[in-house]
Each structure stands twice: as C-alpha cells, then as structure tokens.
Structure 1
Amino acid sequence: MKKNFLKSSLQNASFNIVFQILSRSLTFLMNAFVLRHISQAVIGVMNVRLLLLESTILFLSREAFRRACLSKTVDHNWVQVINLLWLTVPLCCTLCLFFGWIWLSVLETPSSSITPHYRIGVWAIAISCVIEMCVEPLYLVSQAFLFVKLRVVMDTICLLIRSVTFTTIVLWWPDGAVVAFSTAQIVAVIAYAVCYYCYFSHYIKQRKKNDASTVDDDFPFTSLSQFLPNLPSSGEQVVDWKLCILTWSFIKQGVLKQLLTEGERYIMTLFSILSFYEQGVFDVVNNLGSLAARFLFRPIEESAYFYFSQLVHRDIPISEQNVDQINEASTVLKQLLRTVVSIGLVVLAFGQAYTRLALLLYGGSKLAIGLAPMLLRTHCFAILFIAINGTAEGYVLATMDAKQLDRFNHWMAILSVGFLLVSWLFTTLFGSVGFILANCCNMIARITHSILFIKHQYKDTQFRPLDGIIPGKLFSVALITSFIITFLSEVYFYDKSKTTHFVIGAISFFTVVSVWIFEEKELFTIGIQKFRRHSLVSKEN
C-alpha cells in the first residue's frame, strides 16, 4: 500500500484544526448564549455527571480497539479486523448496564429543584453510546485508508446538530434543559450513523462505476455488507489474535488513562466534594480553558499517533530500522514538540491578563468575578503541560511494544492512585483550584516518563529528537515582555477601557507570533517545500 503517511497525517491535522475551529466557534457562541438561560447547577448535572457517563462508556468501549487496529494497517486482514471491531457493541451494552446502574442507584441523584429529568438523561447517554459503536468499523476504515476529510466533516455535522437541537429546545423550554440535552444527544448520534453508512454506500457504488484502471486497488471493500461480521476464508481465525493481545494491553492501559483524564470529574461525582453549582462553574471555566487543547493539541496528537505508528515499528529496536524513516520520525517529533511548547507558552503568558475579559464575553459579568478568574489563570499552566504531554505520549504509545505497554500500565496504575490522592488532598486544601494543580502534577509525571522513554529509545543512534524543543531566545524575550505589558494593561486599563486593554494584547500577540515566525524560518521553509512538492505530486497524479 503506497501511501504518504506524513502528508496524510499533516492533512488530517490541518483539516481537524480548521473544521474544529469553525464548529467549536459556533458552539462557543451558542453556549455563551445558553449560559444566560439555565442555571450553573443544571450545567453541572449535564456537563459533569452525564457527560462523564458518556466519556467513560465510549472510552472503555472503543479506545483500545482503535489504537490496536490502527497499528500497521497495511498488514491487516480486514475480515478479522471488522469482526474484532464489532465486539465493541456487546462490550458497550455491558458497560451501559453497569455504569447506568451506578449513575441511577449508587450516586447522589440531583434534587427535583435542579432537574426532574435526570433519569431520562442517563438512558439517553446509554442508547446513544450503543448506536455510536455500530459505526466503529466504518470509522476505523476511514482512518486507515486516509479519508482525511470524512471524519472531520462527520464530527462537525454531529456537533452542529447537537448544538442547534439543544439550543432550540432550551430557548423554548428553559426548565427542560436535561430533556433538551437528551434529545440532542439521540438525534445527533443517529445522524452521525446514517451519514457514515450513506457515505460508504455511495463511495462503493461510485467505485463500481469507475474503470478498474482508475480505482484504488488497496481498498478491499466491495459492498456495505463487508462492514458487518463475516467468516474469513477457510483455515483462518475469526479474529487476529495478535491484535486481540494488543487490544487487551490497551484496555488495561485505557482504564488507567481514563482515570487520569477525567480524574477530577470522578472525584466530584463519587465524593460530592463540590455542589452541582460549583461543578457547573468549574466545568464552564474548564471548557473555556480547554479550547486550545480541543482546537490544536488533540488533532495534532491523534494525527501524530497515526503517523508514528505507521513509520516506526513497535517490535524492532530503533537502531535496526530504516535510517531514512527514523530520521524523518525523529525530525517530525522534534518539530512537533517545539511547536506545541511555543503554543503552550503563549497561552500561559497572555492567559494571565485576559481571563476576566474572556469570562466576561463568554458568560457575562457574574462569571467574570469570584472564583472563575483564578480557575482560568491556573488552567493556563495546565494547558502548557497538556500540550507537551499529548504529543510526547502519543509518540510513546505509537512505538511501544506489548511488553513496554504492560510496564507502562503498571506505571500508570501507580500514577493513577497518586493522582487521585493528590486531587483529593489539593481540593481539600485549595478548593476547586486543587483539581487543576493536581492535573499539572499528573502531566509533569507523564511528561517525565515520556522523555525518559524517548531518550532511552534513541540512545544508540545519532538522532536526538528532544534537543532543541525549547523555543529560541528572541521568542522568550518577546514573550516575557508581552507578559509584563499585558499585566500592567489589565491593572490600569481593564476597568477603564476594555477596548484599550484588548488592543494592547492584540498588538503584543502579533509581535510575539512575528518573532516566532522569524526565529523558526527554517521550519517554515521546510514546511513550504514539502507542501509545494506534495502539490506537484498531486497534480501529476
């Protein structure tokens, strides 16, 4: 299968970023409007309690299968892979029953004064998760065969339908926010499933109409029924047992990763440390502070994982692999880390002076006072660590063999326990800010592990992917100067003239970005050359 994985990975990241910005911007505006119509307590029920249920079920149902089945896709027996992916449906059903019982019978139920529709929300989440699992084979095929635009378009459609449905119902019936949430969840996931199946049905029909010479022979599916469970050729196993073993390793790791990713929400939910109102405020601030992670870091992390998993072999030492491929992988890793570190530092520097303005625009004057500004300022530190950890750990997970993954699971188990204990301790001492501080400690520990793994992996080679990931001196000076200027601007101009404060920040930001581009001109030159070369190849093809 002759594919340019770097080009496709970069395209995937680019399309992800562009479409995420467009769709999230619309959702951002809708949420800012809805925040003025429903209480923070209801937001806590929906965005903490119910979305935690969805996140838990979906992550445990599919994440391990996705990571395992996206490794070395050129070698797959697709009948076996499809059969393996359909195991996510019964697994999801089992998880829905188990966690649904916990959410309805074990955890504290919101009082009727907050919402009388909590049970409807739990059932809606369970049903939507099962429907979404029925699309998993099509989703993974689209990723494996580099349908770089499809996933982003489908996710955007789903997000827009959910946002418009929810907003429309809330404006008509503010007291039925949870019902609106449940309806939007079901409608969006049904549209998501229908769009995927319709697209591949149309795609296969179009392939049959084309001449054999114009059809990509790599694509093995000739009918939609091949996306359903099928018996393989005689003598072959129903599923690939190597993928099963790798999936099991990712499942064990996934439980721990989920605890680390959603640790603060689990603590809020299980121990009732914060009221639903406080949970709602924390969630609003956390969502606003996570915009950079959703817009940039997550698409980069996912595309980087796919790229490195195709280029670097898991079971062969780096020193014994193709030198050109390892050189390319090492260079891309260094450039990615340097870029995300720069972005994280920019967010940290400008976030301190512009949290109140961002909260004012997002949720109104009530959100811009009290605890929320402190939460958002602290979250800017977490964004820097999240940026580094996402790319570094994405590379590590893409290149570890099964034994290394098992050792990583043990490390994550220890880290999970430590993270939960530190979260509980910091929250007891510092309130909701403690969740963010604990998450920073968690990210630092994971970054340290990834750095040590990468150093050990490349110790017997000439490549040093971790050298040079710290931004240059000019950029650092510009960043520190902008931090001081914007800090003084907030002190002297925020209350008098928010427009002046904004203009000063915009000028400072433009200056910092210009300095970064000047200092990283070599990186831009390489990027432009690659883009032009790929464009010429595409035109020739």
Structure 2
Amino acid sequence: MARNILKSSIENASFSIVFQVLFRCITFILNAYIIRTVGQEVLGIMNVRLLLLESTILFLSKEPILKACLTNTSTINWAQVINQIWLSVPLSSVINITLVYVWINILTPTDDKYQHQYELGCYAVALSCIVEQVSQVVIDTLYVVSRTIIFVYYVETEPEYPINAFSIAQIVSSVILCLSYYGFFLWYIPALNKVKEIKKKEKNAEKNIFSDMTDFPFTSFIQLFPGIMENKEAMLDSKLCVLTMSFIKQSVVKQVLTEGERYVMTVSPVLTFSQQSVYDIVNNLGSLAARFIFRPIEESAYFYFTQMIKRDEILTKQNKKQVAESAEVLSQLCKIVVTIGLVVVTFGQAYSYSFLYLYGGQKLVENNLSVVLLRFHSFAIVLLAINGVTEGYVFATMNNQQLDRYNYLMVIFSVMFLLISYILTYIFGPVGFILANCINMTARIVHSLNYIHKQFQDTEFTPLDGLIPGKKFLITLVLSGIVTILSEIYLLEKSIFIHIGAGAVFFLITVSIWALDNMTLLRLGLEKYKSRKSSFVKQD
C-alpha cells in the first residue's frame, strides 16, 4: 500500500488501544460479575485449563503464518499470501486432535461432578478454534464480548452447569466472529469496486472512506479463498514457507514462555484449582496494561520495523533516513512503555487492595493472597513493557539464520523458566510464578538489548537511551509511592474513596512532571494529530 508506514502503524496502534479499552470495559464488568457468582474451582477449570487449550491452539496455528506474511508487504504476491494463510486451518485441525487428547486423557482429571462438562468444554474449544481460524482469514473484541455475555446468560438460567455455559458461549461467539468478518468483506469489496469505477470516469471524484484503499488487491470476495486469485507463480512462496517454519519453532517456545505458569499449573499439582483461579484473576487484572496498551504498540511497532529495516542487510548500508527514523521511533517507544510501567509499579503497591476489593468484593481479598500477587505483578509489568518493544524490534529485523539461532536460545529460556517456575512455586506458592516470569523476561531483555546495541554500534544513533527516565520524574515517583502507601495505612480504613482521591492527585502530579520533561514528544504528537485532523477536514 502507498500509505505512509509510520502513520499507518500509529493509527493502527491508536485504534487497537481505543477499541480494546472500549470493549474490554464491558467484559471487565461482566467478568467481575462472574467472579462473584461462580465458584473459584470452576473458574480455575475454565480460565486456566480450557482457555490455555484455546490459546495454545490459536497461537501455534496462526501466529507463525501471519508473522511471516507481514514481511515485505510492498512486493508481495497476494495469491501466494492467501494460500499461505489458509494453511492455518488444516494446521489448527491437526493441533486440535493432539491437544484435546492430552487435555482429556493425560492431564490431572477434574472432580467427577465436572468431568463430563470439562470434556464437552475441550471439544467446544477445539471446534471454536477451527471456526475462528476460518473467520480470521477473511473482530476479536466482538468475540470476547459476545462470549462473556452468552456465558453470563446461561449461568443465570442453568447455574448448576457453568462449564456447559462456557462451552456454548465458546462456539456461538466464534460463529458470530466468523460471520462478522465475512459480512464485512461481502459489503466492502463491491463498494470498493464501485469507487474504482467512479475514479476511472471522474478524476476529481469525491473522497470518502474508500479513497485511500483503491489499491486493495482483491476485487471479489471469492478471491479471499485459496487457489482462486490469478497467480502466474508457484502456489506458495518458498521464502514465506521457510520464514513460517522459523516462526513456528519460535512460536512454540514463545507460547511456553507466555503461558508457562498455566502449563506448570496444568501438568503438575502444585496449586489447587481454587489457587489457580485466584492467580489467574490477578494475572489477568495485572496484565490489563499489557492487553490494552503494550500489545497494540508491540504489534504496530513490529509491522513498522519490518517495513523500515531490511532483515538481510546491515544498517550502515540501508537508507539512512529510514534508519534514523526507526531509531527515533524505537527510542520514543522505549520511553513511553518504561514510563507506563514505572507508574504502574509505584501506584500498584498502595492500590492493589482497593482495586481488587472494588472488582471482586470481600471474597477476593479476604485471605490477602490476591493482594500480594497483584503487588508483585506490578513489578513484572515494567519488564513486560520493555521486553515487548525491544523483542518486537528484534523479531522484525532478524534474518532467517538469526531467528533460527534465537529459537535455540528460546528453548533454553523455556526449559529454565519451567524449571524455575516449579521450584519457586514450591517454595513461595503462586508468587513463585511471578518471580519466575521476572527472571525469564530479564534474560530476554538482556538478549534484545545486546542485539540492538550491536546493530546500532556502527551508527550515530542510540535508541536505547529511551529506557532511561528523567531524574525529576523518578523523584516524583518515589515521593508519590511514599505518600500513597501512607494513605493506605492511615486513610483506607476511614474511606476508600479518600484514599483513591489522594492517589489521583499524586497521579496527576506525576503525569504533569513527565509531560514537562517530554514537551518535544508531546508537541510532535500534537502536530501529528492536527495534521491528521486537517487532512480529514480537507477530505470533507
């Protein structure tokens, strides 16, 4: 596409953040209802065991192919890309058969009263993953929202069968997702074709939402299926296949690292289903920043760097303007995510109890385990933020050989992570999972920083300077942390809202100090916003 790569990456990240925050707020409220209504053991089965099955199937069957197909989109053969993407469907089916057998016949069984529902849940997850793969080829938030709403409805009508409610919600929501994607393209492509015809007849045709997409490579809905689009070359691109295989090996290891604690909980009896449920609830709440902000930024940054930096050429031989822009973007991204992470750590210590109490009620905080977990988890968020951006850059710029070498290193990380998780969990309980995650992410960050440093060492650019926060900002964070902890000790018992109000005041002070230290970045963002707004006005 001819659109500016940085602009499209920023727009994609902004849209993803706003869209996810808007709809996740709905599921956030509905999940709070579920926590207060369904027993913790049932939540452990659904949120750990069954959703782990879903994430494993989808990640292994979709992630490698999509990452490979994002590379070099300006010179891509779209017929080969479509054929490549559709490989995710048979791949998903093979993974389904294997993992469902393991989940039902090998893993620790659930209580007898839930066993039948649990088996149905496994089959429901497998079927929904295939449906979702088909739909992904041609609105993930809609899927989450509809699944939660349907689940709540069936829990209300059939409270004695909560896992069956999960199974029904899983299948129905995946069908809704599929129909939504297909319905959009059934409308979009014919409408786009009409715009193209108008442009041929009228040079000064009125601009609209289709104006920037008239080079969309598909002219018929049926071309989105494999083997239909005209293709004078081979059925599949051999380079994409090789790159996909590299990402498959990488994705297996990354999935273990991402969901490692769930795998440990699933295959070994270190925690009860009730403890698993508490850990999963806290982990999900503690990862809100990752899902809402860090993940969209990471995904957009990955796409941006794949288009700006060539994988098989050293930086000194590449376009200097693109390298300079990429270095500046990487530096500013590091600065932003470190800032967010440090703010979360500072205010997370004094407001973990308040947040959990307001979210899940007295039951969630009565044994204090959830509060301790969330406080520890806030430290992991800083590392998660740094790792997301730096590793995103690494994956976007490594060549095939470097990716293969890193895959072996990731295997070592995975084995060490699982071993450390089991040992630390045995010693410290659920907190051990968080400590293991911190150790693992630190190791990955060190590798990424070393890679980036070596890549830029022969240039004049130092993008890693963005990881160092300003002194005024750090002093303000320390002061805010001390005051908010004192507020929790002396004001929380009197009124939770006074305690929250004190935190809000110091949060605004912290943000203001950061803004004063980063006026250049804010002015740049404001200029981009104004230019984008003025372009829309001109179009109107």
Q: TM-score, normalised by structure 1?
A: 0.95
Q: How does 1:75-94 map to 2 (within 5 A)?
A: 75-94=75-94
Q: How does 1:135-154 map to 2 (within 5 A)?
A: 135-138=135-138, 154=139
For 1:474, which of 458, 462, 472 is the aligned residue?
Answer: 472
1:256 aligns with 2:241: no
Q: What amino acid sits opposite 1:227 in the alignment?
A: L
**How far is 1:234 from its partner?**
7.0
For 2:426, which of 403, 425, 428 is the aligned residue?
Answer: 428
Q: Cα gap change, 1:160/1:235 in structure 2, threshold over 3 Å: closer, same or farther?
A: closer
For 2:167, which of 152, 177, 182 is the aligned residue?
Answer: 182
**How far is 1:311 from its partner?**
1.2
SS state of the match for residue 110, structure 1?
coil
Name 1:343's counterpart in structure 2: 340
Q: Is the 8 A contact 1:355 1:377 kept in 2?
A: yes
Q: Cα gap change, 1:497/1:540 in structure 2, threshold over 3 Å: closer, same or farther?
A: closer
What is the alpha-carbon distance in structure 2 between the residues aligned to residue 347 and residue 394 of structure 1? 22
What is the alpha-carbon distance in structure 2 between the residues aligned to residue 212 and residue 129 of structure 1? 41
1:2 aligns with 2:12: no
Moved more, 157-166 or 529-538: 529-538
What is the alpha-carbon distance in structure 1 between the residues aligned to residue 175 and residue 243 of structure 2? 31
SS state of the match for residue 237, structure 1?
coil
Q: Is the 8 A contact 1:41 1:114 kept in 2?
A: no
SS state of the match for residue 496, structure 1?
coil
**How far is 1:218 from its partner?**
2.0
| CA deviations over 1:462-497 (Å, ceiling 9, x no partner) | 111111421111111110000000111111111222
Q: Is the 8 A contact 2:136 2:178 kept in 1?
A: no
Name 1:225's counterpart in structure 2: 222
Name 1:279's counterpart in structure 2: 276
Q: Cα gap change, 1:493/1:122 in structure 2, threshold over 3 Å: closer, same or farther?
A: same
Q: How many residues align?
A: 526
| CA deviations over 1:87-114 (Å, ceiling 9, x no partner) | 1111100100000000111112211345
For 2:181, which of 175, 188, 196 is the aligned residue?
Answer: 196
**How far is 1:235 from its partner?**
5.5
Q: What amino acid sits opposite 1:218 in the alignment?
A: D
Q: Is the 8 A contact 1:46 1:181 kept in 2?
A: yes
Q: How does 1:304-323 map to 2 (within 5 A)?
A: 304-323=301-320
SS state of the match for residue 175, structure 1?
coil
**How far is 1:120 from its partner?**
0.9
For 1:522, which of 520, 523, 526 is the aligned residue?
Answer: 520
What is the alpha-carbon distance in structure 1 between the residues aligned to residue 324 and residue 335 of structure 2? 17
Q: Is the 8 A contact 1:257 1:412 kept in 2?
A: yes
Q: Is the 8 A contact 2:64 2:244 kept in 1?
A: yes
Q: Is the 8 A contact 2:109 2:115 kept in 1?
A: no
Gaps (5+ residues) in structure 2? 206-210
Gaps (5+ residues) in structure 1? 139-153
Name 2:366's counterpart in structure 1: 369
Q: Is the 8 A contact 1:389 1:443 kept in 2?
A: yes
Name 2:45's counterpart in structure 1: 45
Name 1:488's counterpart in structure 2: 486
Q: Cα gap change, 1:204/1:232 in structure 2, threshold over 3 Å: closer, same or farther?
A: closer
Q: TM-score, normalised by structure 2?
A: 0.95
SS state of the match for residue 315, structure 1?
coil
Q: Is the 8 A contact 1:38 1:175 kept in 2?
A: no
Moved more, 492-501 or 291-300: 492-501
Name 1:141's counterpart in structure 2: none
Q: Cα gap change, 1:62/1:468 in structure 2, threshold over 3 Å: closer, same or farther?
A: closer
What is the alpha-carbon distance in structure 2 between the residues aligned to residue 225 and residue 231 of structure 1? 7
**How far is 1:231 from its partner?**
6.1
| CA deviations over 1:417-464 (Å, ceiling 9, x no partner) | 111111111011111100000000011001111100000111111111
**How far is 1:232 from its partner?**
6.7
Name 1:119's counterpart in structure 2: 119
Q: Is the 8 A contact 1:48 1:265 kept in 2?
A: yes
What is the alpha-carbon distance in structure 1 between the residues aligned to residue 252 and residue 231 of structure 2? 36
1:100 aligns with 2:89: no
Name 1:401's counterpart in structure 2: 399
Q: Is the 8 A contact 1:357 1:368 kept in 2?
A: no
Q: What amino acid sits opposite 1:59 in the alignment?
A: F
